[in-house]
Chain A
Amino acid sequence: MTARQLRRNPLGAFGAVVLLAFVVVGILGRRLAPYAPNQVDVIRGRLAAPSAHHPFGTDQLGRDIFSRVLAGAAVSLRVSLLAVGLAAVVGVCLGLLAGYYRGWRDALLMRTMDVLFAFPAILLAIAILAVRGPGPDNAAIAIGVVYVPIFARVARAGALSVRETVYVRAARSVGASDTRILTRHVLPNVAGPVIVQVSISLAFALLAEAALSFIGLGTQPPDPSWGGMLAEGRDYMQGHWWVAAFPGLAIFLVVLACNLVGDALRDALDPRQRGAIEAGGR
């Protein structure tokens, strides 16, 4: 996306800035935080309202919510990137193979994707975590598996439309191997839709990570995660709004940024799809 396109799409530019800030905080969060995420402030105590010492207040154990939100960004970033990376790599490979070779490979792979797609996303993730046990890495794997079929479908659609083009047939006729055709000719043609899907899936992966941590299957306490902070602070939010407000606001802002960037990328990479959005996921 060029600077000119960003200027023409201020919402997309806003999303890009928020997303960049999220990545920076995700990498440097613990170093930027004024307190260690599990450090208890014994002087100002628990559930202290936002102040100069604690801009987002303190939680039910007296820990600085601002520092925990910053540290939580690292967890959200790592899990969502791992999940989407896993889904994109596996899904695109399967989708390319299915779309390029057609026949029984296509039928087998896509019916398997249909089966995966039939499970409600969050429940499939819960079922996978029931088998693998809770934790952020397993949450990333679970979310990744859930999103494999989406990437497979996107890549397959692209591969199907490219496999019969003249330049692919020409490459085949001069003896280019399937691997070369797939990597040099087919993959670049599916890259645009895949990039858009990565951005949208990042938003859903962030939401899913927060939801799984909220129900106790993702990041485990006392490690900070945005969903986990909401779950831990739920019983104390009455009269202490900051306990619920800031972690939720962080999730909302980053998800919004991913969606805005996704829309802007779609407008830039595929103007025909302008205004349309993905149906799946939520």
Chain B
Amino acid sequence: MNGYLARRVAATLAVLWGVSVGVFALIHLVPGDPVRLALGTRYDPATYAALRHRAGLDRPLLSQYLHWLGGALHGDLGISFRSEDPVSSVIGERLPATMSLALAAIAVALLIAVPLGLLSALRPHSAFDRAATVLSQVGISVPDFWLGILAILVLAGSLGWFPAGGYVPLTENPGRWFGHLVLPALTVGVVSGAVLTRFVRASALEVMSEDHVRTARAKGLPERTILRRHVLRNAAVPVLTVAGIQLAYLLSGVVVVEIVFSWNGLGQLALQSVQSRDYPVLQGAVLLFALVFLVVNLVVDLLYATLDPRISLT
């Protein structure tokens, strides 16, 4: 287990190093001078020189990378070209919004997928199963930002049940935070839930056809016990992988949905940094997203053994 853990962590660190090179290269691949482009009409030689110096762009390339990487390892992701605030604090301000949306959306997704997928698997090829399969296919195919627009049109506009957009921090007003969270979380959760439903169904069906389940039935165990003890636990392993990938994707900022709902999250920040050519913020956001994705995947891998002792992590 320790050997496997060390290998997986080493592989993750190697990929993360590759990611850091890619992210660092981003600012140098922009045609033209990134500081000059970012300053636009605010340009004057003194500001330009100061910003270039603070961003470390007046050093040799290797020194720039080492300086940037050293800073990143200490949580210093540079200075925003736009606000001139530290990138880490700009990102930190947006983190709670993205985290609350991602966690609420994955909760919605699981609440949809687990019962729907299990019920489908219990009655394969029934009318319910067919309806659930069609519904999940529809959910996978619907553009989340269009679903969000329709939700605003109907649930916020015509019915007036929820606010149409905006983000209120949990610490400021928990009631309003929840009210604003419902529509974006439902929008993202329905789409993720559709993907997960198919995995829950496929995974439960596969487990139910295995010998140990047949043996449990032959022994006369009640269906509920078989489902709880044999099916759910074994079917959870592949579902966990997909749920982990979905969570990583959601934590990486659902850019377009955040824009539809004016949700002040990291996805919206990344897009704003592209529009205002604030490359250090874009670099910081992309680096963080990739880190989150890799760490969530690593954690999911390690959880495998906990859920299914047959899987040996040696």
Contact = CB atoms under 8 A, between A and B. Distances in A.
Interface of A: 11, 111-112, 114-115, 118-120, 122-124, 126-127, 129-131, 203, 207, 210-211, 214-217, 230, 234, 237-238, 241, 244-245, 248, 251-252, 255-256, 258-260, 263, 275-277, 279-280, 282
A282 B140 contact: yes
B49 interface: no
A255 B157 CA distance: 27
Nearest to B192: A282
A272 to B, nearest CB: 12
A131 B293 CA distance: 23
6 closest residue pairs by CB, A with B: A248-B146, A115-B18, A120-B252, A256-B141, A255-B141, A130-B274
Interface string B140-179: 1111011001100100010000000000000000000000
Contacts of B104: none
Main secondary structure of the interface of A (DSSP, over half): helix
A224 to B, nearest CB: 16
B35 to A, nearest CB: 15
A114 B146 contact: no
A119 B291 CA distance: 9
A215 B201 CA distance: 35
B143 A131 contact: no
Interface string B271-294: 100110101001001100110011
A79 B179 CA distance: 38
Contacts of A216: 275
Nearest to A254: B141
13 contacts: A111-B14, A118-B18, A118-B19, A118-B293, A123-B289, A126-B271, A237-B149, A241-B153, A248-B149, A279-B195, A279-B245, A282-B140, A282-B192
Contacts of B137: 11, 256, 259-260, 263
Given A215-B256, A241-B153, A277-B198, A118 B274 contact: no
Contacts of B134: 11
B40 interface: no
A237 B267 CA distance: 24
Contact of A248 (B31, B150, B201, B275): B150
Given A214-B256, A216-B275, A251-B146, 7 more contacts: A115-B15, A127-B282, A130-B279, A131-B26, A217-B274, A256-B141, A275-B198
A68 to B, nearest CB: 16
B289 A122 contact: no
Given A120-B249, A123-B286, A211 B145 contact: yes
B183 to A, nearest CB: 15
A149 to B, nearest CB: 12
A119 B19 contact: yes
A244 B149 contact: yes
A214 B249 CA distance: 19
A124 to B, nearest CB: 8
Nearest to A260: B137
B18 A114 contact: yes
B253 A126 contact: no
A108 to B, nearest CB: 11
A76 to B, nearest CB: 12
B147 to A, nearest CB: 8
A230 B202 CA distance: 35
B100 interface: no
Interface in B1-47: 11, 14-16, 18-19, 22, 26, 29-31
Contact of B191 (A114, A260, A282): A282
A118 B249 contact: no
